[in-house]
Structure 1
Amino acid sequence: MASDSAYRTGLFALGIELDGEGFHPAAAHRAGREPADLLNPATLTARVRAAENAGFTFASFDDSLAPDSDGPPGRLDAVTRAAFTAATTSTIGLVPVAAATYAEPFHLSSQLASLDYASRGRAGWLVTDDPDTARTWGATPRITAEEIRRERVDSVEVARRLWDSWEDDAVVRDYATGRFLDRDKLHYADFIGETFAVKGPSIVPRPPQGQVVVFGYGAIGSERPDVALVTGASVAEAGEAVRQARAAGIPRVLVDLEIALDTPDATAIERLADLDALAPTKSTGRLRFSGSAAELTALLTELAATADGVRVHPAVLDADLPILARYVIPALLRTGLAHRPVPGSTLRANLALARPANRYAKELAR
């Protein structure tokens, strides 16, 4: 099984969500900072560096344009945050959330390709719909889930075509002759969907990874994501979600996991009770864990029997991230379950994903 191979080679991926103060609605009350600090670049940089130094494979940045979002009261857009941290990091993957339904696909694909260049091959894209943003845009919400799904599929497809619209050696850089581009190695995307059309080619050369790593939620095979993030209220349910995603042909499957850890000042149960008294938590359908660092290590080892990794959502980032960095990840590294990304490696390499061949170069070679 693919998961067994991941365990043997230490390719159990470890991701962390770094948006806001944590998954719990009351996290801001226990974060020890002002809400405006979330817009401070120093806060963002410190957290991403802490996650990188701990050994995480990637960090994701949630986002929403909906004014009634359950997230923090204010945020910079996720792609901007990821791009800002690209220059000050060297190993951690950077995976912003970007809604496919209301973003312009051409511009979004260019932003993500630029992020891959800025990070030297560490960019990902967590595709979402975010239909509630229709009110923000002044647009009529999509009527059916099928219409939303179809536009999401089209957006991913056109992004992949645009990333391939430059062959890898299209840029010549021959200063002696003044020739910098091979026009024959640029290709039209020629995409026509039901709600938009894109001619292309892209305005950004092919990303270092060939294509930015596409993340998606659940067993959504029609979008052809590279990585699926699945949920489950129990380990058994999460395992079944992993199997469904594998059956849909998704190469890598990770489990979304909410965590609250014992700290020197309080147990996880005490911390959650304190947080719930301030603002009751909402059910997200994700697998949830509360307990000691050793117990979390045991759970992750159990999940490694079926999944290719996890993305953790700490209850309060400033409290849980230090415990993860000091006790949990070192234990996983010692057992060989996980590995620490090294400078120069791409996000694809750290997820054991092959660099895709350019579709247009392959077609012309036939």
Structure 2
Amino acid sequence: MSSLPTSDAEQGRGILLLELDGAGGHPAAWRVSGTDPAAVLTPARLRDVVLAAETAGFHAATFSDGGLPDEGDPDTTARLNALQSAAFAGPLTASIALIPEVDTVYTEPFHVSTQLASLDYVSGGRAGWLVAASGSTADAAAVGRHTVRGDGRAREAADSIEVSRRLWDSWEDDAVIRDVPTGRYLDVDKLRYVDFDSGVDFESAVTEGASYSVKGPSIIPRPLQGQLPVLAPAGLLTREAVAAGAVDALLVSAPTPELLAAELAETREAFSATGSAPALIAELDVVLDARGQGAAERLAALEAHTPWPSNRARFLGSASQLAGLLAGLLIVADGVRLHPAVLDVDVEELARLVLPELRRRGVLAPVVRDATFREQLGLARPASRYATDTASPSAGN
């Protein structure tokens, strides 16, 4: 049991995020799921789980990304492309934020930026970006690159975020004029070059990341939110990059719930003096008592097939115990991302027992239909960095 503080009094206005990868967080989830394994990768399944999460009252859904399963390993998780999954869910939903995981090392930054901007339009301003930085040799080989390791991954992640942020600002908000008499769709003086150069010599950096430059502007108008909220795992970027505002939220992990609370407090203290403290989202694996089985019994049955390789804190127990733990975490965190062991089983308990109790305690932010993700995080819509830059040259004809 956790020793975290709990209270029935209102302690905060936190948000809950739900990871919707595959059949669940545990790689053997498909073996006990009520869904046919072949259906996990279908649009109908994706629609059902996203709508279930929205109906339950989760503030955001995240979508992990990665390659195909290893051949011959039946418990390696298969998944759909995260960004495409989020885009599919956009028109189907009205309140839940949609946050795909997108790699920054082996994906072209220009494509990342424009696809995420498109997602913001498809979702009506409910898009976010979960930054990843792959160290996989298979991912590198797929695009014909050397594997990026060590500090190179952090640098490429920071560069990709900076490119995306500049491109999102490269169209001023009033760039689209639709002037029928003159036949002009755009005011070209409202489009800007971003002129980004990674500043890394290719020949000396083949194992740490290649150099590139981006001229811009984007091919997509400025996102509805101006800037999509950017989330990244704590420790991926340098402290200087985070303090400079590269990300809007950090995902914080620790081996146990008690250590998680301490890690959240230490992380908040580390950034409190920078003037640009990000929101903190706690990471938590969840296995609940459900359907007549105890959580430990359920986990043992899953682990008999394959272990769950996770460095996140793990909760095993009843719905009421989890509600108490989350109420305590939301005193020191701005939100919690839950990774249910088996979606079909654990989300049912979360929706029926856990979220209603958290609302009774007053620790959750309200779910607002058509609210942007920035609004859920308490972030204002920023002005374009180029909006007052009248000296910049026109970006085209």
What TM-score bracket applies, with the shorter chain setting the length?
over 0.9
**CA–CA distance in structure 2, aligned partners of residues 42 and 138 of structure 1:** 34
Question: 1 or 2, which has the higher helix percentage?
Answer: 1
1:175-215 Cα distance to aligned partner (Å, 9 max, x none) = 35533311111100100112110000000000001011111
> Of 118, 124, 127, which aligns to 2:128?
124
- How far residue 66 of structure 1 moved from its aligned partner, in angstroms, is 6.5
Query: Would you say 1:286 and 2:312 are equivalent positions?
Result: yes
Q: Helix, strand or coil: the match of 1:359? A: coil
1:200 is matched by which residue type in structure 2?
Answer: G
Flag the 1:319–1:233 CA change in 2: closer, same or farther, 3 A. same
Indicate conservation of the 8 Å contact 2:83/2:102, yes or no. Answer: yes
**CA–CA distance in structure 1, aligned partners of residues 91 and 33 of structure 2:** 26
1:51 is matched by which residue type in structure 2?
Answer: A
**CA–CA distance in structure 2, aligned partners of residues 32 and 293 of structure 1:** 20
Flag the 1:25–1:75 CA change in 2: closer, same or farther, 3 A. closer
Indicate conservation of the 8 Å contact 1:165/1:187, yes or no. Answer: yes
Query: Would you say 1:230 and 2:256 are equivalent positions?
Result: no
Indicate conservation of the 8 Å contact 1:52/1:91, yes or no. Answer: yes
> Of 234, 243, 252, which aligns to 1:218?
234
1:32 is matched by which residue type in structure 2?
Answer: G
- How far residue 357 of structure 1 moved from its aligned partner, in angstroms, is 2.0
Indicate conservation of the 8 Å contact 2:284/2:336, yes or no. Answer: yes
**CA–CA distance in structure 2, aligned partners of residues 67 and 280 of structure 1:** 16
**CA–CA distance in structure 2, aligned partners of residues 9 and 178 of structure 1:** 56
Map 1:18-33 to 2 at 5 A. Answer: 18-33=20-35
Indicate conservation of the 8 Å contact 2:69/2:78, yes or no. Answer: no
Corresponding position of 1:146: 151
> Of 167, 171, 192, which aligns to 2:172?
167
- How far residue 228 of structure 1 moved from its aligned partner, in angstroms, is 0.6
- How far residue 244 of structure 1 moved from its aligned partner, in angstroms, is 4.2
> Of 280, 305, 322, which aligns to 1:253?
280
> Of 170, 194, 200, which aligns to 1:189?
194
Flag the 1:345–1:225 CA change in 2: closer, same or farther, 3 A. same
Residue identity over aligned pairs, in percent, reads 47
Corresponding position of 1:47: 49
Deviates more, 1:327-336 or 1:120-129: 327-336
Indicate conservation of the 8 Å contact 2:70/2:76, yes or no. Answer: no
1:197-244 Cα distance to aligned partner (Å, 9 max, x none) = 000000000000101111100153415211110101223422333234
- How far residue 28 of structure 1 moved from its aligned partner, in angstroms, is 1.1
Query: Would you say 1:76 and 2:106 are equivalent positions?
Result: no
Q: Helix, strand or coil: the match of 1:16? A: strand
2:133 is matched by which residue type in structure 1?
Answer: D
Indicate conservation of the 8 Å contact 2:27/2:77, yes or no. Answer: no
Q: Helix, strand or coil: the match of 1:357? A: coil
Q: Helix, strand or coil: the match of 1:290? A: strand
Indicate conservation of the 8 Å contact 2:56/2:351, yes or no. Answer: yes
> Of 16, 19, 38, which aligns to 1:17?
19
Flag the 1:66–1:318 CA change in 2: closer, same or farther, 3 A. closer
Corresponding position of 2:63: 61
Corresponding position of 1:106: 110
Q: Helix, strand or coil: the match of 1:21? A: coil
Deviates more, 1:327-336 or 1:30-39: 30-39
CA RMSD of aligned residues (A): 2.1
**CA–CA distance in structure 2, aligned partners of residues 250 and 99 of structure 1:** 24
Q: Which runs of 5+ in 2 are unaligned?
A: 1-8, 201-210, 392-397
Query: Would you say 1:316 and 2:316 are equivalent positions?
Result: no
Flag the 1:20–1:180 CA change in 2: closer, same or farther, 3 A. same
- How far residue 352 of structure 1 moved from its aligned partner, in angstroms, is 1.2
Q: Which has the larger radius of gyration?
A: 2
Corresponding position of 2:395: none
Flag the 1:363–1:242 CA change in 2: closer, same or farther, 3 A. farther
**CA–CA distance in structure 2, aligned partners of residues 24 and 307 of structure 1:** 25
**CA–CA distance in structure 2, aligned partners of residues 58 and 73 of structure 1:** 22
1:290-318 Cα distance to aligned partner (Å, 9 max, x none) = 11111000001111121001000001000
1:197 is matched by which residue type in structure 2?
Answer: S
**CA–CA distance in structure 1, aligned partners of residues 185 and 337 of structure 2:** 42
2:226 is matched by which residue type in structure 1?
Answer: G
Indicate conservation of the 8 Å contact 2:18/2:339, yes or no. Answer: yes
Flag the 1:357–1:241 CA change in 2: closer, same or farther, 3 A. farther
1:174 is matched by which residue type in structure 2?
Answer: D
1:251 is matched by which residue type in structure 2?
Answer: P
1:140 is matched by which residue type in structure 2?
Answer: H
Query: Would you say 1:262 and 2:289 are equivalent positions?
Result: yes
Q: Which runs of 5+ in 1 are unaligned?
A: 1-6
Corresponding position of 1:275: 302
Indicate conservation of the 8 Å contact 1:189/1:198, yes or no. Answer: yes
Indicate conservation of the 8 Å contact 1:167/1:360, yes or no. Answer: yes
Indicate conservation of the 8 Å contact 1:56/1:340, yes or no. Answer: no
